[in-house]
């Protein structure tokens, strides 16, 4: 914990690849209607710390409710690896930690996030 690290990640079929630099010691488990269904463990970063390396054109954008978030998923394999949103005037990315290479999910401290109430 307490270490900034760059992780690579991808959807299941590998069309969409990305890189994120973050200190990931904790993961949020969200109870909203979409995360609850897809079992996300996530963290949020500023868009500066995130880069799509390939497959941007393979992404499908899904929005619902207040449409504040772009719930992107791969049009081929259906995996939702990350999403984008704006908060406090900044562009942010929420990353599905289960899609990162070499991250030990079981070592993370899981925090509950009450997305249902937003
Ligand atoms: Zn895919």
- Model pLDDT for residues 73-82, shown as the tens digit of each residue: 999 999 999 9
Q: Is residue 69 part of a domain?
A: yes
Q: Is residue 10 part of a domain?
A: no
Q: Is residue 11 part of a domain?
A: no
28 C-alpha vs ligand 1 centroid, how far in Å?
A: 23
What residue numbers bound the domain in which 55 lies? 25-112
Exposed e or buried b per residue across 41-64, where buried means at least 16 C-beta atoms within 10 angstroms of its C-beta: bbbbbeeebbeeeebeebbeeeee
Q: Is residue 15 part of a domain?
A: no
Number of CB atoms found within 10 A of residue 1's CB: 9
pLDDT of 116: 86
The enclosing domain of 92 has a CATH number of: 2.170.150.70
Q: Which of 76, 78, 74, 85 lies closest to 32 in space, CA to CA?
A: 85
> Average pLDDT, stretch 89-100?
97
Asked if residue 1 has pLDDT above 70, the reply is no
Q: Is residue 14 part of a domain?
A: no
Number of domains in the chain: 1
115 C-alpha vs ligand 1 centroid, how far in Å?
A: 25
């Amino acid at each position: 914990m307490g270490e900034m690290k760059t992780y690579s990640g991808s959807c299941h079929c590998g069309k969409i690849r990305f890189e994120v630099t973050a200190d990931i010691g904790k993961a949020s488990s969200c109870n909203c209607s979409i995360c609850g269904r897809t079992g996300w463990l996530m963290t949020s970063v500023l868009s500066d710390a995130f880069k799509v390396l390939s497959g941007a054109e393979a992404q499908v954008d899904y929005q619902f409710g207040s449409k504040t978030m772009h719930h992107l998923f791969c049009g081929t394999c259906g995996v939702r690896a990350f999403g984008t949103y704006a908060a406090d005037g900044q562009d942010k990315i929420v990353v599905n930690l289960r899609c990162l290479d070499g991250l030990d999910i079981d070592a993370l401290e899981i925090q509950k996030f009450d997305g249902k109430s937003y």
